């Protein structure tokens, strides 16, 4: 029985180590300095850019947290931050975390905030008024965009794993 317990403990430790390698936590200092929920922020970064600071999407989103330049400028001005480069990890995380925090405060629901982060606040406002996507006008159940639905699943899976590994 003791050997079985030791074997299971070793297997658990190995699994945690492996998951830790598969789900790293780079930029930890920058994330924890400015995030209302650091583990949600790292889950978003993993889904958005795969930790590539120079990532640029086809739509023009830039950096680790894949911020649209217009959104970044809005957040920068709202908080009075100095201008910087969106490919700078610390600056991108500062703005992206502030935007994510704003969305979480506005919607009070992770799924709805993440949908807005991915598809935009304007689209989420429309979806919240449509009973096909929201029962209560406050929370998103699904979206008409397969990409956004996949994004929600990916971020929530990442978030769940990061909470297990790093909480």
Q: Return the active site residues.
A: 48
Q: Are 104 and 159 in contact (CB under 8 A)?
A: no
In angstroms, the Cα distances linking 121 to 33, 58, 77 are 26, 20, 18
Does residue 62 sit in helix, strand or coil?
strand
Q: Are 67 and 96 in contact (CB under 8 A)?
A: yes
Place of tokens 């957040």: 75
Query: Which residues in 40-137 belong to E strands, given as ranges?
Result: none
| Nearest CA-CA partner of 117 in 140, 133, 134, 135 | 140
Q: Are 76 and 99 in contact (CB under 8 A)?
A: no
Q: Are 30 and 89 in contact (CB under 8 A)?
A: yes
């Amino acid at each position: 029985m003791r050997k079985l317990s030791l074997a299971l403990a070793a297997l658990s430790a190995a699994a945690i180590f492996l998951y830790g390698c598969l789900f790293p936590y780079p930029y930890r200092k920058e994330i924890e300095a400015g995030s209302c929920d650091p583990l949600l922020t790292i889950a978003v970064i993993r889904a958005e850019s795969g930790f590539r600071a120079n990532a640029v999407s086809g739509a023009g989103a830039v950096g680790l947290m894949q911020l649209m330049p217009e959104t970044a400028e809005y957040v920068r001005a709202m908080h009075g931050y100095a201008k910087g480069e969106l490919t700078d990890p610390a600056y991108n995380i500062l703005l992206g975390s502030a935007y994510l925090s704003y969305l979480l405060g506005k919607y009070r629901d992770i799924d709805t905030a993440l949908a807005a982060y991915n598809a935009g606040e304007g689209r989420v406002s429309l979806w919240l008024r449509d009973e096909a996507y929201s029962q209560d006008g406050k929370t998103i159940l699904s979206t008409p965009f397969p990409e956004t639905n996949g994004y929600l699943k990916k971020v929530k899976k990442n978030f769940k794993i990061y909470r297990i590994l790093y909480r």
